[in-house]
C-alpha cells in the first residue's frame, strides 16, 4: 500500500514557506483514490508537474507538494492547487509549529 504525503504552501498567509509557523500537511492512501484521481496523480508524477496548468499563477494561490515512494526512493512533485484531486486537498490539516 502506497501513501501519498501532501503539503500545502502559499496562500495569503504564506503557509509552509520559510518563516511561517503554520504547516499544512496530510497523508492519503493512493489506493483509496478513484481510478480517475489515481490516473491524475500518476500523470502529475510522469510530467514532473510541468505543463499541468498553463494559466498564469494566481495571486495568493496555494501550491501543493505531493510525495510518494518510488523505485529509487521518495519522489516529489510541486503543482498548483487546480491540479490536485479534491480528496488530497481535503486530507490536509493546518498545524502550528
| Per-residue pLDDT tens digits for 38-55 | 999 999 999 887 656 555
Position 52 scores a pLDDT of 60
Listing from the earlier edge strand, what are the strands of the sheet with 73-80?
73-80, 62-70, 3-10, 22-29, 93-96
pLDDT of residue 87 exceeding 60? yes
Whole-prediction pTM: 0.83
Tell me how far apart the terminal alpha carbons of the chain are, to the nearest angstrom: 29
Mean per-residue pLDDT for 62-67?
93
Mean per-residue pLDDT for 2-12?
89
Amino acid at each position: 500500500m502506497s501513501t501519498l504525503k501532501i503539503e500545502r504552501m502559499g496562500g495569503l498567509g504564506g503557509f509552509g514557506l520559510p518563516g511561517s509557523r503554520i504547516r499544512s500537511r496530510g497523508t492519503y492512501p493512493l489506493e483509496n483514490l478513484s481510478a480517475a484521481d489515481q490516473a491524475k496523480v500518476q500523470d502529475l508524477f510522469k510530467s514532473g508537474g510541468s505543463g499541468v496548468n498553463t494559466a498564469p499563477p494566481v495571486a495568493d494561490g496555494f501550491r501543493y507538494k505531493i510525495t510518494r515512494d518510488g523505485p529509487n526512493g521518495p519522489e516529489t512533485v510541486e503543482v498548483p492547487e487546480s491540479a490536485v484531486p479534491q480528496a488530497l486537498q481535503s486530507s490536509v490539516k493546518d498545524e502550528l509549529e
